[in-house]
Amino acid sequence: MPITAEHAGRSYPATQPYRVSREAIAEFAHAVGDTTAGPDQDPAIASPTFAMVLAARAWEALFGDPELDLALVRTVHADQRFDWRRPIREGDELTATLRIDKVRTRGLTDMVTIGVQIDAQGGETVVTASSTLLHTRTEQDPA
């Protein structure tokens, strides 16, 4: 049974805690050309879009949900939003919790809006993320 508008509101368990390391911060800063964030501060501050590393861990539950019949290879990432309450920093232990916010299907294309909340130890929300994914259904599952 493929994804439908009725799946809006479904949420998945939080991912396992991910401990943010100085090394991961440095590697990511280098990869995105960020000269301001990184390991020179103490604690090291992550580049803002490092948040996607955490959000992507939550995406696994979505793509692994057998009810939805979603495939990453048939998915285009259409847009992305982040809101940071504070920078992610070295030593944070972060979990990511995904919720399906909206599903619209036209023909063979599902437009899926997902929200991910990234929380630190103690339940402090550090970042919220929202993505629109465009997914192509296989022809066996027309709307």
Q: Which of residues 86-125 bind other proteins (CB under 8 A)?
A: 86-87
- 3-state secondary structure (DSSP) of residue 63: helix
Residue 34 makes contact with other proteins by CB under 8 A: yes
Whether the CB-CB separation of 71 and 63 falls below 8 Å is answered with: yes
Count other C-beta atoms under 10 Å from residue 81's C-beta. Answer: 10
What's 7's DSSP letter? G
- For other proteins, the binding residue among 73, 106, 139, 140 (CB under 8 A) is 73
Stretch that binds other proteins, among 7-15, 27-35, 102-110, 118-126 (CB under 8 A): 27-35
DSSP single-letter state for residue 46:
P
Considering the rule CB under 8 A, would residue 53 count as an interface residue with other proteins? Answer: yes
Q: Is 23 left (phi over 0), alpha (psi -120 to 50) or beta?
A: alpha
Distance CA 108, CA 30 (A): 39
- From the list 77, 91, 121, 138, which residue makes contact with other proteins (rule: CB under 8 A)? 77
What residue type is 58 in one-letter code? Answer: A
How far apart are CB 15 and other proteins at their closest, in Å? 12
Give the number of residues in contact with other proteins, rule: CB under 8 A.
32
Binding residue for other proteins, selected from 1, 6, 16, 33, defined by CB under 8 A: 33
Enumerate binding residues for other proteins (CB under 8 A): 24, 27-28, 30-37, 45, 47-49, 52-53, 56-57, 72-73, 76-84, 86-87
